[in-house]
Structure 1
Amino acid sequence: MRLATIVLAGVLLFSVNGFAQPPEEGLDTIRVTVTEIMVPVTVQDRDGNTIHGLKPRQFRLYDNGKEQDIQVDATYFPLSMVLAIQGNGAVDAVLPQIKRVGSLIEANLIGEHGEAAVLAFDHRLRVMQDFTTEPGNISEAIKKINTGSSTSRLVDAAYEGIRMLRNRPRNRRKVLILIGETRDNGSEGRLREAMIDAQLANVSIYTVNVSRLVTTLTGEKVPPRPDPIHPTARSMPGNVPATPTTVMQKGNWDGNSANFIPLMVEIFRDVKAIFRDNPMEALTKSTGGQEFSFVKTRGLETAISQLGSEIHTQYIITYNPSNKEEGGFHEIRVTVDHPDARVRTRPGYWLATVN
């Protein structure tokens, strides 16, 4: 039975820029931003089991350390979902497994009053099915995906899925699910823009990762590119590049949202590319989502069931920030008055400076 979600009054995050009359030359431009933030919250015990039945009064939310004024209702948000599925040569052996679980995706992920769309990506971005509530349409759309080139425009697919969700009605919960390898190959857009756009549109991103070992052994073989760096010019240990793995080893990073914040701020400032090899990790952590993975069909079925369980048992919080004048990154912290609660949510959002 689906848990009734807890919401705070408000809907989506949006911006309104305008003037009562055209500004006169020489006068400062005044930009007004109106913001409401949606914050899905996963609450589990120490064993990873969902904690049901929490009351609104048990939640506290802090924006940049400032507790926010909240009003609480018990209301269900219908779901709008985009399934973005990799369809290039690398997943040729894995795609049949994905096609076989289309009905499971419909039953576990979309839910009552939900709608979904299907997007396939290789060097192209193909909308296989626009948003639909009709049973069976999603399964049929997934079955029509055929593998193409060696390119995998993962970041571009994420950006397109976010764009599709941004245009859905305001009263809907918005989720993007990426199914494919963790690496990007050929995107024109940048990860930074996709992350910011997801936060502005209140989109939660989840991934079902295809094992790179499987795609390496079974995928279409592509001749390796020549190494542009001469061996004598490569850095030796002692000058190790910043990657998610080395950051974790150096700083004891456990991958939770709070410890991810400094890395995300660096991405927003566009000064580091530490998630170049795994953009899925950045997309999920920056929006409060989660990564799942599989090797065989059974693992894929388990991942879909776990993903559906999380999405449909989350507590949904929305609020209107009292500190919108603070530009830059806004850290979100949620606490729950329960002795065994473990909380996961989006770490924050990026807000333009008000001039």
Structure 2
Amino acid sequence: MKNWLTIGQFSKAMGVSAKALRLYESIGLIKSHARGENGYRYYEESQLEIAHRIKGFKDLGFTLAEIKALLEADESLDSDKLATSMQVRLKEISEQAELLKSQKEQIERILSSLQKKQEPLHAEQRRAIMSYYGKVSILITGCDGLEKTAHFVHEHFKSAGQDVPIFTWSAGMELPDAKPYILILPEKFLTHEDVLKINADVIVIKSVSVHSEEMEKAYLRLFAEVGPHVTTVINADDRASVSFAGQEAVRKGRIFYFTKNRALEPQIQHIGGVISDGEELEIYGFNLKSKVEMKYKKILAFEEEIALLSSFAAVMSVGLEKENLAGTLALIK
């Protein structure tokens, strides 16, 4: 019987009664093995690891149903790993709380100025109000596929009855005063001195050609005037793009992600953004809603789907409705 334990031996080693152990087995938390003609329960010594984890969760106050659900989600989960996960979650919540606090304070300042009617609103306050009513400038940048993203953003607004112009950036161009508008900025122009004049309300980083310090500095030139009202959209499947999320200048505003990686759904759900598996997509944080779901009418080519996802993320907080996005989906043949 080497490496095998009877139910009495196993329950004693686990620190619970044999009755409790039978209950754990009846709900599928742990499984015994019948050996010999007597049909007695025996347990492998190696099962003590999961047994101790079960008891640890029980000591923390989790119900048996909750423990089963936790172990189904992660077979290797223990109290230490759970603590690490909660620390990560706490950090994410704290970051979101700071951002929401910043936005709340901004709105309070705007309300105060509006109620006093004694002085003009600051430029940042005016832009925050314009964003709330969809009067935004949306900058789409990266190394490829920018035009397709711009087309989809245009269609979202068109479904809402707005014909939003699309411009392609060039040196010396005068940016329009009237909003909304869409501006395409190819990555190769990021170092031009005129780029500092753009000051977009929504910045979509579609994809980055190379992960380097030089390229990062080039993109960060777009964030010279970022405040709480500015939204940055990042491709979570592009390592070079994701690196921008840690930059202080970018974190002053909101960040939304888009991805085709279902493994990132917990993060997207907490932070906000768009996730797709090629047949269905979910949007978390659209107009502060917890979740919006939609289905594709057809299977899209990879580049077309990425363009669509980035366009959804670009208009998550500019006053559009779910029906406007669904209208764009319906047009894709």
TM-score (norm 1): 0.29
Report the structure, 1 or 2, having the larger strand content.
1
Q: Which has the higher contact order (CA 8 A, sep 6+)?
A: 1
Report the structure, 1 or 2, having the larger helix content.
2
